[in-house]
Amino acid sequence: MVEFWWNGRRLEGREGDSLAVALWRNGIRAPGSSRKRHRPLGYSGSFVQGTLAEVEGLPNARLDRTALRPGLRAWKQNTWPGPRFDLLRLFRLLPARRVRGGFEHPRLLPSGTRRFERWERLLSFLAGEGRLSPAAPEITVVPGRRLAADAVVVGGGPAGRAEAETLLRAGKRVVLVSRGELKGAPAGATLLPAHEAFGAYRGGRLLAAAPFDAAQGAVVIEAAELVLATGRRSCPPLVAGNDLPGVLEARTALHLAECGCDLGRVVVIGTGAEAELAARLGELKAQVVATAPAAALRRIAGRSRVTAAELDRRVACDTLVHAGPWIGEGSLAFQAAGDGIIRLLGGTLPPGVRRVGAAAAADEAPPVGDLAALRSASVCPCMDVQAAEILDLAAGGMTHVEELKRQTGCGMGPCQGQPCWSLLGALLAKAGYEGTDRPSRRGPRAALTVAQAAGLADLVEPQQ
């Protein structure tokens, strides 16, 4: 067992766990909170805000990508005066309408005035902005690497490994980038496990990736062919309670179960894969009490965690796992195909860039029920944007996604709009507002430190 500290409290975890898994084992399901109302957020696999904490003095570290090590110390963010006695929790008592877009755009405090500057500082404090050390930081640069290959494959799942093997048999030099450990990867490929591909540039011929370990340098890969095998993730349901700790994306639930974590009583919903996922969870000793189509879910009950799922009947549970609707991670494809000067616009994939496996499948639209019943559903939990706020703005004539983003902050959290924009689009379509698009997807889309970015400065020639 490994000893570590959370909010000054001594805990024990297993070597090899991430800090998020270690906290789950200790019964801590809500290590994060939303930015405005300070609502509890947990390790969901969908919303990054629920996994951000201060680790060894570094703010906004991702708990799901932080390896547990002896003596590690971590603290919950968005607290005052401290995590053990947090007065900011009182913001949860405020009605949601009190912290809408006007909370950050006050008419009585015009931009450019000293009053507005003080207001901005207050907002930064309330939002849990990281505390900076008064001591001057050491100036460090983490040197990066530049690789050359014939093809780069992003995604270490079955489709990505199969594509890498095919390319290797054709005599090509292959780089395989994956968030996972790349078990069973094909021999002969250059492997980059535990890396996030955060940007595709120059028509997809230049890919940039950063390791989860911030002490390692980032990588730029120049290749004639870019293969996206990034798969699809499940989109959270658009119902009240969809941001409660205990609502898990399918792959996250499987990961926790494989680590031996207790999920309690589990309800599984989906768009056809729910029975298969429930069987898999059952094999991992999870207690599945019900399965249902995603469209049958009416509400998720609970205040600080999941307590029940309201289907055709109320089912008491501790965890709700969603296996669909499935949406792709389209940022890399958008960046590779993007065109435009002021605002990037999506286009067709350029030559040499292709999707394979589940990444090539079309996105599934999230089911949307009765609008009146889902007004308290979260569209963007990180920024505390609810369906009611979007619907009221749309009714007033504000239906373009860029306007909604700037007015509400929707999609501007650490998740960078995934899956918030899918929920927003489904909501607007249900309300009858057709023809809406989505904002540009721009890199970097993952945690790239300044030190890592500085290490790439001499490896990429700027384009004029």
pLDDT tens-digit series, residues 389-418: 999 999 999 888 888 888 888 888 777 778
pTM of the entire structure? 0.89
For 203-248, the pLDDT digits (tens) are 999 999 999 888 899 999 999 999 999 999 999 999 999 999 999 9
State yes or no: pLDDT of 50 exceeds 60.
yes
What is the CATH architecture of 366-433? Orthogonal Bundle (1.10)
The hierarchical CATH code for the domain 2-126 is 3.10.20.440
- Report the C-alpha gap between 201 and 76 in whole angstroms: 36
Compute CA distances 438 → 186, 259, 420, 451, whole Å.
37, 37, 10, 31
Is the pLDDT assigned to residue 451 strictly greater than 90?
A: no
Q: Quote the pLDDT of residue 436.
A: 65
Q: Which of 3.50.50.60, 3.30.460.10, 2.70.170.10, 3.30.465.10 is the CATH number of 139-234+327-364+440-464? A: 3.50.50.60
Residue written as tokens 């309408």?
Answer: 97
Q: Which residues belong to CATH 3.50.50.60 in the chain?
A: 139-234+327-364+440-464, 236-324
Parts of the chain belonging to CATH 3.10.20.440? 2-126
Query: Residues of CATH 1.10.10 domain(s) within the chain?
Result: 366-433
What would the mean pLDDT of 419-437 be, rounded to a whole number?
85
pLDDT band (50, 70, 90) for residue 104: low
191-226 in b/e burial notation, b at 16+ Cβ within 10 A?
A: bbbbbbbbbbbebbbbbbbbbbebebbbbbbbbebb
Residue 88: the pLDDT is: 83
Q: Does the pLDDT at position 139 exceed 70?
A: no
pLDDT of 176-204, one tens digit each?
999 988 888 888 999 999 999 998 988 99
Rounded Cα distance between 76 and 263, Å, is 22
Whether domain 236-324 has CATH 3.50.50.60: the reply is: yes
